[in-house]
A and B are shown apart, each in its own frame.
Chain A
Amino acid sequence: MDSLIRILKQNSAIPRADLARQIGLSEDDLAAKIVKLETNGTILGYHAVINREKWDTDAVTAVIEVRVTPEREGGFDRIANRIAGFEEVQSVYLMSGGHDLMVVVEGSNLREVASFVADKLSTIEAVQSCATHFRLKTYKENGILHAVEEAPERLAVSP
């Protein structure tokens, strides 16, 4: 099971017939295993990693450090889920250190992100402060390098 998850985490688009052969399962057994992982909530979804210099180049990503006042009942969870519910929000993490939540926001332009922070995020009552940092360039995302290295030359046959 571990190697199945590891492979899908790295490349969820791998043809299922190839994957079955690699881990030594029939295609039916493999499909059943994957369905189980999906239904029990181990696998939550699948993504493509997009090179933003090739597609949707105007899109803006911001990482926002948010300080919030935790609630007597529920701590950070309710407020974090409330923030997570917005379409613009890609990720929300509870952090140790100088701020409480790290929120990754995506918008189609700068104005969209700015308006989200000003109108939605910072107006939530429990939110004490927001520090917004904009992404300038991506070098590596989800384990994938964005600069494609040319494969070094190898001998055609070697002992």
Chain B
Amino acid sequence: MSSSRIAEHVRNIPRSGIRDFFEIVQSMKEVISLGIGEPDFVTPWHIREAAIYSLEKGKTGYTSNLGSPRLRRAIAKYVEQYFAVEYNPHDEIIVTVGVSEAIDLALRSLINPGDEVLYHEPCYVSYSPSIQLAGGVPVAVATRAKDEFSLRASDLEKVVTKRTRVLMLNFPTNPTGAVMPLEELKKIAAFAVKHDLVVLTDEIYSELTYDEVPHHSIAALPGMKERTLFLHGFSKAFAMTGWRIGYACGPADIIEAMMKIHQYSMLCASIMSQEAACEALERGQRAIERMKEEYRLRRNFIVSSLNEAGIPCHLPKGAFYVFPDIRGTGLSSKDFSLKLLDAKKVAVVPGTAFGPSGEGYVRCSYATGMNQIKLACQLIADFVKK
């Protein structure tokens, strides 16, 4: 079969670096993986139980395209309580199949061919391809280790053009665990206003900040609600990755546009997941706190162990990743990861899977059991010694 029957804009999307790596790891046995970007916790029982109950009651149909009214009301209440932004559940909220769908809908709703989209890097693997698939031009802005990988407005100023339409943010960040200090976030907001940009803020890790670092959403800053799409979901904080459920909140005209695409492609998110999501928002805080405290302790352990092994690693304030600097080994990110896997059967993800500016770093996820983390740290220390 010739590859030419695949549409050009799809052919042009490079294969995900993480996928190559995944296939190598998958072919090996007994690998200790710090490469997993999802919680090791099972969804809290009360949420699973609520979903089972909804099936027992026979809730198996479609919901409104925007998502069930009950869930939209619960989302509005939650976002107001924890993020201090008010949205009208009637026309400013859409329930999606994970934040991934929300990002895709948002980009497709906002981008005309050739429009430029700014995003910070290293970042989640889907941003650049999603922008390209929507016909946009991805413009990456590298963040720096010395800023703990938070974004600087001055760097955005260097690359903004007349074609720039959208700015994408993701704090806390996958893969660096970076958070945005409020003062810097205000500068970013001013930048977005100055250049009349729409901001997509992917807040999927926002509940997971540590050391009493408060999370600030750019949507809550003065003048930002009208130009911001607040994207969030249940995967990380509620340990619900496989339920594929998320949402977008924003100005009614953009939500309406996103709904147009959503109704013809997805119709609605799965009703079982929507029922589970209601339960998560209404009674999930206790479980979040328990998991978050566990992540915090593991983070402290892994950062201390890696630094002691001679791999400089800053203490990230959010998400469940550390992003150590492996340049001291003289290896590239990819070689480090491959050799570590080969020699010690420990999987970490090369920083370059998250963009070229991830070179010199690897991502280690601490969303895995303490015993595994401890063993992996010992093996990494052995590996570095040689």
Chain A residues in the interface with B (C-beta under 8 A):
3, 6-7, 18, 21-24, 152, 154-159
Contacts and interface: CB of A to CB of B under 8 A. Distances in A.
Contact of A21 (B22, B38, B304): B304
A157 B36 contact: yes
B36 A158 contact: yes
Contact of A159 (B126, B298, B370): B126
B22 A156 contact: yes
Nearest to B34: A157
A21 B25 contact: no
B347 A22 contact: no
A157 B293 contact: no
Contact of A18 (B26, B40, B374): B374
Assign chain B's interface to a size class. Answer: 20 to 34
A6 B25 CA distance: 36
B128 interface: no
B36 A22 contact: no
B304 A158 contact: no
Nearest to B349: A157
A153 to B, nearest CB: 11
Given A156-B35, A157-B36, A24 B300 contact: yes
Given A152-B42, A155-B36, A157-B33, A22 B298 contact: yes
B26 A156 contact: yes
B25 A157 contact: yes
Given A157-B35, A159-B37, 19 more contacts: A6-B293, A18-B301, A18-B374, A21-B305, A22-B298, A154-B36, A155-B38, A156-B22, A156-B25, A156-B33, A156-B35, A157-B18, A157-B21, A157-B36, A157-B347, A157-B349, A158-B18, A159-B18, A159-B174
A154 B40 contact: yes
Interface in B327-353: 347, 349, 353
Nearest to B22: A157
A156 B31 contact: yes
Nearest to B45: A145
Interface string B100-138: 000000000000000000000000111000000000000
Contact of B125 (A3, A18, A152, A159): A159
Contacts of B26: 156-157
A155 B18 CA distance: 12
B300 A21 contact: yes
B16 interface: yes
5 contacts: A22-B298, A154-B40, A156-B35, A158-B18, A158-B35
Nearest to B304: A21
B22 A158 contact: yes
A159 B25 CA distance: 14
The 10 A-B residue pairs whose C-beta atoms are closest, nearest first, are: A157-B35, A22-B297, A157-B22, A156-B25, A159-B125, A158-B37, A21-B301, A21-B304, A22-B301, A157-B25
A152 B39 CA distance: 12
A7 to B, nearest CB: 7
A152 B41 CA distance: 10
Interface in B1-23: 16, 18, 21-22
Contacts of B374: 18
Contacts of B293: 3, 6
Contacts of A7: 297
A84 to B, nearest CB: 32
A40 B349 CA distance: 47
B286 to A, nearest CB: 13
Interface string B280-303: 000000000000010001101100
Interface string B69-80: 000000000000
B347 A156 contact: yes
A59 B33 CA distance: 42
B304 A24 contact: yes
A21 B370 CA distance: 12
Of A23, A152, A155, chain B has the most CB atoms within 10 Å of the CB of A155
A158 B25 CA distance: 11
Nearest to A145: B45
Nearest to A152: B42
B204 to A, nearest CB: 12
A22 B300 contact: yes
Contacts of B22: 155-158
B265 to A, nearest CB: 22
Contacts of B297: 3, 7, 22-23
A23 B21 contact: no
A110 B31 CA distance: 49
A114 B159 CA distance: 83
B94 to A, nearest CB: 23
Interface string B342-380: 000001010001000000000000000010001000000
